[in-house]
Copies of this chain bind each other. A is one copy, B any other.
Amino acid sequence: MRQGSHSPIGVFDSGVGGLTVLKALMERLPHESALYLGDTARVPYGTKSGEVVTRYSLKNAEFLMERGIKLLVVACNTASAVALPALSAALPVPVLGVIGPGARAALRKTRGGGVGVIGTPGTVRSGAYQRELQAAEPNVRVKARACPLFVPLAEEGWTAGEVPRLVAREYLTDFAQDGVDTLVLGCTHYPLLKTVIAEVVGPRVALVDSAEATAEAVAALLGERGMLASPGPTPAYGYFVTDVPERFVEVGARFLGRPIPTAEQVDLSF
């Protein structure tokens, strides 16, 4: 299918988490149409190897390409961390991840040059945030920590109370005492635990959520290339999932901040 400025933006994630990125895109670019694919049959990506996450990412991208997207947003931090080079090499459209924009947003916020990054084991192990931060600002001090239990807590809706507070303390107490003044929420699920995380790290640590920074980067890139949709027909949004859609539609509305009318189940064999 041929792409034009009115073609949709493609967004994929391992599940519902990337809907926070889609939400920021809808707000920043209200004239753009978008197609969202959540790979719910294989979720989560964060505990899997780079090799497997790259394989899944290429298949997700291929599915969206077949539907004529003009640009791909990798809304999953783990996939952004490990699969961006392979995706950029394979795709004829621009590809944007969430890590570059998140890292640059953190560098704009830090006062003392101490940046913390929390994410899935896959994201942290990849060192992608650390590389992006130090490439842009060699003097930045980076401290990264994997917080694997945050994803199941957010998915189950355990975002307040004693359990998430204890888990957050276990992971994060020393961040606040270590010269870190800015903390990147390097997983799209973590903004749901923002209140608890903020409480544990204290008011002197600024939290960075990559979703808005990514929407800003998409706007800039489409603008530069003359690919912005002009105001006109109402934008269209389409949702695809690889497992049955019921839970995605229900939980996803919490992440997107608006109802998801329907999601189509697609069978991607890989």
Contact = CB atoms under 8 A, between A and B. Distances in A.
A51 B244 contact: yes
Contacts of A269: 269-270
Interface string A47-89: 1110110000000000000000000000000000000000000
A149 interface: yes
A220 interface: no
A167 interface: yes
Interface in A9-62: 40-43, 47-49, 51-52
A243 B121 CA distance: 15
A199 interface: no
Interface string A235-270: 000000011100000000000000000000000011
Which residue, of A47, A51, A151, has the highest number of chain B Cβ atoms within 10 A? Answer: A47
Nearest to A245: B49
Contacts of A152: 148-149, 151-152
Interface stretch (A92-100, A155-163, A172-180, A211-219): A155-163
A244 B52 contact: yes
Given A148-B152, A149-B158, A167-B163, A41 B52 contact: yes
A156 B148 contact: yes
A128 interface: no
Contacts of A167: 163
A47 B156 CA distance: 10
A243 B163 contact: no
B52 A48 contact: no
Interface of A: 40-43, 47-49, 51-52, 148-149, 151-153, 155-156, 158, 162-163, 166-167, 170, 242-244, 269-270
Closest 5 CB pairs of A and B: A49-B244, A152-B152, A41-B52, A52-B243, A49-B243
Given A40-B48, A148-B155, 10 more contacts: A41-B48, A43-B47, A148-B156, A149-B149, A149-B158, A151-B152, A152-B152, A269-B269, A269-B270, A270-B270
